[in-house]
Amino acid sequence: MRTFIGIDLGGTNVRVAKITEDGQIVAQVKGPSYGTEGPEKVMGNLKEMIREIPDWRECSGIGVGVPGPVNTKAGTMVLSTNLPGFTGYPFADELSKEFGMPAFLDNDANVAGLAEALVGAGKGLSTVFYVTISTGIGGVLVVDGKTVSGKHGFGGEIANIIIDRDREKVNYLNVGAIENEASGTAITRKGREAFPDKDVPHAGAVFDLADAGDEKAIAIIDGMKKDLGQLFATIACVCDPDIFIIGGGMTKSADKFLPGVIEQFKAMSHQAVHDTPFVIATLDEPGIIGAAMLPVSNGI
């Protein structure tokens, strides 16, 4: 069975793995990424780690997942907030020349969705939309095994979709952007505002208060359900996927909000799409597996 190199590169840490085409990790090395020290340091470290992988020369290609939007055709980062100096850097080309095999680059949320589409919950389906709900909210459309990133690398970047123009201004995102209204960070913020005298370290504390019958907490969670339901209804209008796959840290509380999200989705979408399944992501390591799937997705 063919194998590929998958790289999960963040601003702090990096993982490099040898992965089979059906998504099994057979070897892996981890370490600091030196993300703030510039391309020369980061790339030198990456190359050393790839050479630590047993029999790396047997691999058929390299895939890299990075934080931020990517020009997948050029193999470059469009925006590199967590990796200074990498905007426009010929990332994929350099790895390809160094190791003599094709290399590909994509956004970390995109590769997680790609993994779920190819070897996870969406395996065998033509049109998959993956949404990650965690600190932020991200997404990716995968059609026939390929991520749809668009001309500028922003395809599937759903965080800035407006669900209500009458909300408060929070940060650089649009007023009423879904990330500022329904992410884990948003629920934590709303919980701290509603309960200034309570300890609200994370979104789970708001769910716990809602479970205990607190009306203010219930209102926050009900608002989240409605906002996410509108988001999914909007996505369905654009691409009508075979399946919605939900990943990210907030899935730990999915039983407390997902049924309500589906109910709201049906209330705001065409009846024809009401049978679209919503499932929780199944893979334990979607980021690094998805990175390794990039060569597969590109026909290697």
pLDDT of residue 105: 96
Which of 129, 246, 130, 249 lies closest to 185, judged by CA? Answer: 249
Q: Quick check: is 199 in a domain?
A: yes
Mean pLDDT of the chain: 95
Q: Quick check: is 120 in a domain?
A: no
What residue numbers bound the domain in which 25 lies?
Answer: 3-114+285-297
Q: Quick check: is 265 in a domain?
A: yes
Question: If you average pLDDT over residues 54-69, what whole number do you get?
Answer: 95
Residues 149 and 172 in one domain: yes
Strand partners, 128: 142, 243
Residues 159 and 254 in one domain: yes
pLDDT of residue 154: 82
Residues 47 and 172 in one domain: no
Which of 7, 99, 10 lies closest to 51, judged by CA? Answer: 99
pLDDT at position 74 over 90: yes
234-253 pLDDT per residue, tens: 999 999 999 999 999 999 99
pLDDT of residue 277: 98
Q: Quick check: is 184 in a domain?
A: yes
Residues 218 and 141 in one domain: yes
pTM: 0.92
Q: How many domains does the chain have?
A: 2
Q: Quick check: is 34 in a domain?
A: yes
pLDDT of residue 153: 79
In this structure, the dihedral spanned by the alpha carbons of residues 43, 75, 131 and 269, taken in order and rounded to 10 degrees, is 170
* CB-CB contact of 184 with 249 (8 Å): yes
* CB-CB contact of 283 with 95 (8 Å): no
Which of 293, 249, 285, 300 lies closest to 28, judged by CA? Answer: 285
Q: What is the DSSP code string of 193-219?
A: HH-TTS---SHHHHHHHHHTT-HHHHH
CATH number for the domain harbouring residue 170: 3.30.420.40
127-186 pLDDT per residue, tens: 999 999 999 999 999 999 999 988 887 888 899 999 999 999 999 999 999 999 999 999
Residues 143 and 89 in one domain: no
Note the residue count of the chain.
Answer: 300
Residues 69 and 177 in one domain: no
Residues 266 and 292 in one domain: no
Distances (CA, A) of 65 to 11, 87, 113, 119, 171: 12, 14, 11, 17, 26
pLDDT of residue 127: 98
For residue 229, report the phi and psi dihedrals to the nearest 5 degrees: -60, -40
CA distance 53 to 16: 8
Q: What is the DSSP letter of 174?
A: P
75-90 pLDDT per residue, tens: 999 988 889 999 999 9
Q: Quick check: is 119 in a domain?
A: no
Q: Quick check: is 194 in a domain?
A: yes
**68 or 211, greater pLDDT:** 211
Residues 160 and 109 in one domain: no
Q: Which residue type occupies 170?
A: V
Other C-beta atoms closer than 10 Å to the C-beta of 73 total: 10
Residues 101 and 161 in one domain: no
Helix (H), strand (E) at residue 92: helix 91-99
Residues 69 and 214 in one domain: no
Q: Quick one: three-class SS letters along 102-147?
A: CEEEEEHHHHHHHHHHHHCCCCCCCEEEEEEECCCEEEEEEECCEE
Residues 85 and 132 in one domain: no
Other C-beta atoms closer than 10 Å to the C-beta of 113 total: 31
Task: Identify the band that residue 91 occupies on the pLDDT scale cut at 50, 70 and 90.
Answer: very high
pLDDT of residue 81: 84
240-286 pLDDT per residue, tens: 999 999 999 999 999 999 999 999 999 999 999 999 999 999 999 99
Residues 203 and 96 in one domain: no
